[in-house]
Structure 1
Amino acid sequence: MTIEAVLFDFSGTLFRLEPDETWTTDLVSDAGEPFDAHRSAELLHHLTHPTQTLEFDAREQYAWDHRDLDPALHEQAYREVLRQSGVAGPQASRLYSRLVDPLAWTPYPDTGAVLKLLDSQRIPAAVVSNIPFDLRPAFVEHGWDRYVAAFALSFEIGSMKPDRAIFDWTFERLAVAPESVLMVGDSPENDGVATTFGCRFALVPAVPTGERRDALASALRAHGLG
């Protein structure tokens, strides 16, 4: 069946959060000691990777598991991550603010090109993301919001991948059947689940943006687009 719409994940697919050394330069522990390179790297890993190795109690685990459905739960979960990492007070507030700032995210090199390509072919694109904040400003910043037909954001929809409801919302909004849809994402579990609904799926690696030049364009070409 001809592809009539393409759905994209956001984090690790179209954009990536790439913190640099400025995120931790001024951090000091409760004892007043500056964070060394190892401790800084460990903290950034906890902040930017969805799989956590920290220990949570039942309340914090609930917040972590549901963080992308409720901004308040997301902040609660990451405040706990920061607390366990030895960061609190104004330092924690500063780091958390950067974490949820859509303008702090870096686009992959071919993001704009693939969105423009689909628009030129009159194939609607949608962003389907597990996320607790409005990511639209990231697209507006680059002038790409005009190429996105729908933003299915978990905290707005009340459903998150791999649940089907967030996908069904998108299919309905775009007026397409799942069998005519290509899903592009970096998670076999959360994005690849679309194949169980009849969609095609293209996996892209969530590597740093400088290491992935044309994975999105290649994914479209592999499915006859571009």
Structure 2
Amino acid sequence: MIQTLFETPSTYRLTETEMAAPVPQVQAVLFDFSNTIFQMISLPTWLRRVGAAAGRLALLDAPGAEAEVCHQLRTAFQLPSVVALQESRDVSPERHRQAMRGWWSHVDFLRGAEDAAYRELAAPDAWIPYPDTEPVLRALRARGLGIGIVSDFPWDLRTHLAHHGLDALIDSCVISYEQGREKPDPQLFFHACAALGAEPRATLMVGDNPVRDGGASACGLRTYILPAENRTGERGLADVLRLVT
């Protein structure tokens, strides 16, 4: 086989027969979780839940108090020490908890209430699906496609799926904390495809991070990257249905 001068970096190789054959139809769709099919509750809502749980709710009622907490959170997240803690934070619950505590310790309102803050972050109803998540999942299910999740997440996100009655629409979850590795590690994508019984080249990965989720393309998967923007309305997932026809 004649090699091209520059090859796309990849963890898979096609045979000459596969290269000449038609591209296979999509048999399965993998989704990132956070900011793709689910989002965290709003920051003000989370802060008030933390305040109620820690007996500090009144502190948020002072004029400008809530805005100041948000400002401190954003500022603290830029600190070199906090940035360093975020590296590989989703490979284990312990590392994620350490990363969050290290961040929140720089915020007056959260200092000393880190345990309550973490409980509210991981609560089953603290993560909610986008308005178009369920309709798209059901449409994919109706077409007989396998559906999986590949997510960098530090706890069992299945609790959030179950809370919103969507667990029956997901066939498999590959989660970083269970695997001890984060995207774009190829093993996560290959494991997800194997769990669905789908060839990588017949699988579509949908996410919002061009590096982490886009890494699926080096494993032979087709990849669709959503705009990395905060959404409260539909996420734009209906486009996925056009990609699997």
Task: Give the TM-score of the pair, scaled to structure 1.
Answer: 0.83
2:12 maps to none
Following TM superposition, by how much is the alpha carbon of 1:210 offset from its aligned partner in structure 2, in angstroms? 2.5
1:136 maps to 158
SS for the counterpart of 2:100 is helix
SS for the counterpart of 1:160 is coil
| In structure 2, C-alpha distance between the alignment counterparts of 1:106 and 1:218, rounded to whole Å | 20
SS for the counterpart of 2:81 is coil
1:10 maps to 33
| In structure 1, C-alpha distance between the alignment counterparts of 2:94 and 2:28, rounded to whole Å | 33
2:209 maps to 187
Change (3 A) 1:155 1:198: same
Structure 1: unaligned runs, 5 residues or longer: none
Give deviations 1:185-207, integer Å, cap 9, x for gaps.
Answer: 01001101111111111112344
2:47 maps to 24
| In structure 2, C-alpha distance between the alignment counterparts of 1:39 and 1:78, rounded to whole Å | 19
| In structure 1, C-alpha distance between the alignment counterparts of 2:86 and 2:235, rounded to whole Å | 33
Structure 1 letter corresponding to 2:227: P
Following TM superposition, by how much is the alpha carbon of 1:103 offset from its aligned partner in structure 2, in angstroms? 2.0
2:236 maps to 215
Change (3 A) 1:152 1:46: farther
Q: CA RMSD in A?
A: 2.4
Q: Is the 8 A contact 1:19 1:44 kept in 2?
A: no
Name the stretch that deviates more: 128-137 or 92-101: 92-101
Following TM superposition, by how much is the alpha carbon of 1:209 offset from its aligned partner in structure 2, in angstroms? 4.0
Q: Is the 8 A contact 1:130 1:155 kept in 2?
A: yes
Structure 2 letter corresponding to 1:3: V
* 1:69-88 matches, cutoff 5 A: 69-86=91-108, 87-88=110-111
Following TM superposition, by how much is the alpha carbon of 1:2 offset from its aligned partner in structure 2, in angstroms? 0.1
Q: Is the 8 A contact 1:109 1:209 kept in 2?
A: no
2:80 maps to 55
Name the stretch that deviates more: 137-146 or 36-45: 36-45
| In structure 1, C-alpha distance between the alignment counterparts of 2:119 and 2:111, rounded to whole Å | 13
Q: Is the 8 A contact 1:24 1:35 kept in 2?
A: no
Change (3 A) 1:70 1:16: same
Q: Between Structure 1 and Structure 2, whose CA radius of gyration is higher?
A: 2
1:38 maps to 67
Following TM superposition, by how much is the alpha carbon of 1:75 offset from its aligned partner in structure 2, in angstroms? 0.6
Structure 2: unaligned runs, 5 residues or longer: 1-23
Following TM superposition, by how much is the alpha carbon of 1:167 offset from its aligned partner in structure 2, in angstroms? 0.9
Give deviations 1:143-189, integer Å, cap 9, x for gaps.
Answer: 21111110001001222101111111111111211111111001001
Identity of aligned residues (%): 33
SS for the counterpart of 2:140 is helix
Number of aligned residues:
211
Following TM superposition, by how much is the alpha carbon of 1:44 offset from its aligned partner in structure 2, in angstroms? 5.2
Task: Give the TM-score of the pair, scaled to structure 2.
Answer: 0.77
1:173 maps to 195
Following TM superposition, by how much is the alpha carbon of 1:94 offset from its aligned partner in structure 2, in angstroms? 1.7
Q: 1:126 aligns with which of 148, 166, 169?
A: 148
SS for the counterpart of 1:16 is strand
Following TM superposition, by how much is the alpha carbon of 1:66 offset from its aligned partner in structure 2, in angstroms? 2.3
Change (3 A) 1:171 1:224: closer
